[in-house]
Structure 1
């Protein structure tokens, strides 16, 4: 950092962004606690947010644990990796958070411990400072949890280790409450109260997890929010924040389709709970090490693993400030960015109303046109319809109003709740006009897709149905033109060639899949052709469905329209259901609306730059290349 660690963190703390209003009407209660709601956000970066910076890179370490020393300065430990000594508990101290002094392996003595024994390999040790004492918690080479006590004023001095407290322990930490009571924590949430002096147990260990009374009402089918059985998988630790006890642990969930080890927290009124549902607090941060800064705010170390494809760095240590959202939720501060992708530094372009499933086309008049799902999760019939926005530069968007209002559909909705979803706007140079494909989801019935054409050749319409009723059963219609004709893609990969009237199909309907037979996204498919290669994109939830997972753009490529397509891969993190397109300058973009808790915004239209440099690959630039 540019300043001392303490003053740098204080400068990073900024007010939390205000929450957007929850849509007034929601047809399905599965959306009431959807991650796209601001109240569930783990990430809401401010306009001037900066990437987390390393504060320690003198040695490759994992499982970093950091604490403030009473006279000022910092102490750090962790699992030593790669080169150099790897035995014992290695310590570093710093007066300012920039310049670190290696104290070497701590001088620990105790039953069965031989000082300097290189066979004593300690994994994930932790540091705790309480008044004038410095405590090291660790599991020795036999798996016994121990606590070594030393002087906070002389961290380079001797430490006296306790006898074996718990056998078969991993990721050991010590929590000392305000009254001096000590608690040993380990694994994903084991806890036991310690006897005075922390050299023995005062009770039988127990496992901490969210209060099961919170799950009395089962969530809707297919919705796994929230996790019932744990706060995390490893690195359990505890901290007191005023009258609340924070239980933290980390877990690799498969979010972003990579090894993101995130920090989760639950809160309770006592060290034993009852605890709240878990919250994702620190993306990519690794094993938790949360502590209080001198200004009273909380922070945790940021120490990602190298298997995490979207971490800013790995096996080094950064400092991630935390903050309270308006409703009290703990999350990463709005002043920082924790993900290394251009997506993380982008911001929405239209915020006047919510937009999901955005579609952009470059029109025949040289302007860009935007459409998307309105009203949060879709306007209910007879409200709304399809609205367009226009832009000449992809930055400034003008609302040009509704161009379709539930007209000429040739279908009786009876009294069913019906929502209009995922309108796609498409300019056809071949037909010299615009097309609208949109879906309607009927509660208890399912989804259907219509195709409309502008009879004036103008984006404003008027638009007329190309068929007598809906064109296909299924949702997420996407018009695509190739040299040999006009196609409609919909429903998780189905595709058919439209006839000349665009009201039906010439030939069979096929389904596009990757070489493993998997759909390239379960919804929101789109196609773009670049340099003779077809790129099939689609939306997929990676990690916990509709909880702490990510709604990403997946893609696969092929040299022929019908395939075979390559194995699906992640293209644009958080991109989900969007549209790839080429702008007037030859750059490629993907539309995005923000549908998961770690997306940089929620339910608003934005654009993400994508690279199609490799003839058969799509990716997003790294953070440094994003222009932010």
Structure 2
């Protein structure tokens, strides 16, 4: 994709562009919302990193000859492949190991490379080179590495003879790591290292031609929307290690990886930023390949780019570790590079599934098994919630958790007993619950009032049917705060809301009997800051909640966390990951005794966004929630 430099699209413009998805998947964004955090929310498809096609396949290793990290892949003249990286575990670990392949399937070891140069003794087993990289330019084959003293060096050989001799430069930069070389179309070489340091090389690549500088996003892009909270990394860097550069038409693509704490595990993701020159100005960084590890970008036979996929074993959601795969890249509608729709890079039950209702957007889905044997579903609709006086709470019904039929609106705005005046009032997070004790359904929902805050109402079906009609259990709102959740225990009904507030409902269900308590984990922290729910299994209470992990909203994940206790009021165990990307859903047991969790997709790496889906969960012992692996749940 060739773009003239004068029409270069900056990251700020990219962030503002939108596209028109299919009518059945369009996500409405209102001009006036209750909270401007939704102005460019990660749950919108236009911000997605992951958009898998229905026939997407998990990324598979192309190289598994031996454990390897920091993989670097390049193309040889004639279409062959060459690969290097940090040798791990057993076997030779000195020098620079090289493998070649005619087809990226069958590999031949030709290393360690025969490197000579100042202070290098060929065959010296003490020469441990970490994260070497390989570059092919014309008839030359270059190896960039940091030697055992921490000096960045470039060794030059012939592309036609990968097993031949390499002549290493003197020390180019001291204290360097993750060294790579970029050679532009005019033959100019640039040394890169760390998370984004760069310096032009003199002809022959034997010394620097300029003082090093550090590459980061153009700071003017943050003038209107400065990053807040955990978003600060997006401003200061593209990544923390493995900086590498490729050219894609007139785009200079800077790639680097970073462990962000996304998904509450050591997820090392690949980020990129782009510029019209090797020095910038660079766009805001974009999360391009989740779980990729530190790797390189290479061009495929079809001319498109692909990223090396080489996760560490610390990443509990990687498809594999210490092997090498290739993830094809594609351009999103706004021009960003991201992983292609044909591939899945995350090993989880969530990554393997798809949305069940796509006719309209839905957030915060709630499913309950009713007294009539049907499953009932409600959720936040109309993008980020209906505005008063539009819409209301809509109901779906299913007999098998697969086919969902729309019942229609079961509640509208009339008779709430509260005057919003001229304020914007937005309907959020309805919850439906069947009470076997009361033989009827309860409906809780929240309204966020701009400039005032959130309140939650509690309604009850007057007919004992899920479709209602419903009546307010009191004369106005039930509690201040959002995310109400009715829960039935052996001794009565309880109401949970906010970040863990709970109290027992009185006999009339119009107020509380006893004190309001706070459910916390063993450290005194909330299990989820919003979207709490409860389920009881095997005499153990499972408290679930939603939490962001990693850089907040920008590249983080909105996950379901949980804690367990044998006492309703806790304390609960330290919060643990339950369902990745599954924040603000509800757990329930189906007619066969299996457990499920609802999900809508609220982050850029969720397999879908703002649509209702179900994730299987496995309560394998008394106090844990398990997530089946990807090969166990593919339909």
- Band of TM-score, shorter chain: over 0.9
Hey, what's the Cα distance between the residues in 1 that align with 2:39 and 2:288? 21
Retained in 2: the 8 A contact 1:26–1:32? no
State the Cα distance separating 1:104 from its structure 2 match: 2.2
Change (3 A) 1:220 1:230: closer
Hey, what's the Cα distance between the residues in 1 that align with 2:258 and 2:21? 27
Retained in 2: the 8 A contact 1:75–1:94? yes
| Correspondence for 1:277 | 284
Retained in 2: the 8 A contact 1:17–1:46? no
Retained in 2: the 8 A contact 1:225–1:546? no
| Correspondence for 1:9 | none
Retained in 2: the 8 A contact 1:354–1:603? yes
Retained in 1: the 8 A contact 2:230–2:550? no
1:473 aligns with 2:460: no
State the Cα distance separating 1:277 from its structure 2 match: 0.2
Return the match for 1:77 from 64, 73, 84.
Answer: 84
| Correspondence for 1:61 | 68
1:186-218 Cα offsets, whole Å, 9 max, x none, are 001000011111111111110000001101113
1:362-412 Cα offsets, whole Å, 9 max, x none, are 111111110000111111111111110111111111111111111221111
Return the match for 2:29 from 9, 19, 23.
Answer: 23
Structure-1-length-normalised TM-score? 0.96
| Correspondence for 1:565 | 572
Once the two structures are overlaid, the 10-residue window that deviates more, 223-232 or 78-87, is: 223-232
Hey, what's the Cα distance between the residues in 1 that align with 2:78 and 2:527? 56
**SS of 2:520 mapped into structure 1:** coil
| Correspondence for 2:354 | 347
Hey, what's the Cα distance between the residues in 2 that align with 1:321 and 1:39? 19
| Correspondence for 1:307 | 314
Unaligned runs of 5+ in 1: 1-15
| Correspondence for 1:124 | 131
Return the match for 1:218 from 216, 225, 233.
Answer: 225
| Correspondence for 1:396 | 403
Structure-2-length-normalised TM-score? 0.95
Q: What does 1:30-109 correspond to in 2, within 5 Å?
A: 30-109=37-116
1:165 aligns with 2:161: no
| Correspondence for 2:331 | 324
**SS of 1:413 mapped into structure 2:** coil
Hey, what's the Cα distance between the residues in 1 that align with 2:597 and 2:503? 24
State the Cα distance separating 1:39 from its structure 2 match: 1.1
Hey, what's the Cα distance between the residues in 2 that align with 1:355 and 1:605? 6
Unaligned runs of 5+ in 2: 1-19
| Correspondence for 1:261 | 268
- RMSD over aligned Cα atoms: 1.3
Retained in 2: the 8 A contact 1:515–1:565? yes
1:25-52 Cα offsets, whole Å, 9 max, x none, are 4513221111101111110100011100
1:34-78 Cα offsets, whole Å, 9 max, x none, are 110111111010001110001111111100001111122211100
**SS of 2:350 mapped into structure 1:** helix
1:330-366 Cα offsets, whole Å, 9 max, x none, are 1001011101101001100111111000000011111
| Correspondence for 1:4 | none
Hey, what's the Cα distance between the residues in 2 that align with 1:187 and 1:558? 45
Hey, what's the Cα distance between the residues in 2 that align with 1:313 and 1:77? 18
Hey, what's the Cα distance between the residues in 2 that align with 1:256 and 1:567? 16
Retained in 1: the 8 A contact 2:481–2:498? yes
**What number of residue pairs does the alignment pair up?**
613
| Correspondence for 2:551 | 544
Hey, what's the Cα distance between the residues in 2 that align with 1:401 and 1:222? 40
Hey, what's the Cα distance between the residues in 2 that align with 1:320 and 1:222? 31
Hey, what's the Cα distance between the residues in 1 that align with 2:81 and 2:132? 16
State the Cα distance separating 1:223 from its structure 2 match: 7.2
Change (3 A) 1:219 1:407: farther
1:441 aligns with 2:448: yes
State the Cα distance separating 1:507 from its structure 2 match: 0.3
| Correspondence for 2:16 | none
Hey, what's the Cα distance between the residues in 1 that align with 2:267 and 2:237? 18
Hey, what's the Cα distance between the residues in 2 that align with 1:84 and 1:223? 41
Hey, what's the Cα distance between the residues in 2 that align with 1:221 and 1:234? 23
Retained in 1: the 8 A contact 2:362–2:383? yes
Hey, what's the Cα distance between the residues in 1 that align with 2:376 and 2:158? 66
Hey, what's the Cα distance between the residues in 1 that align with 2:119 and 2:43? 53
Return the match for 2:258 from 248, 251, 256.
Answer: 251
Change (3 A) 1:361 1:599: same
| Correspondence for 2:621 | 614
Hey, what's the Cα distance between the residues in 1 that align with 2:273 and 2:442? 49
Hey, what's the Cα distance between the residues in 2 that align with 1:24 and 1:188? 38
1:363 aligns with 2:373: no
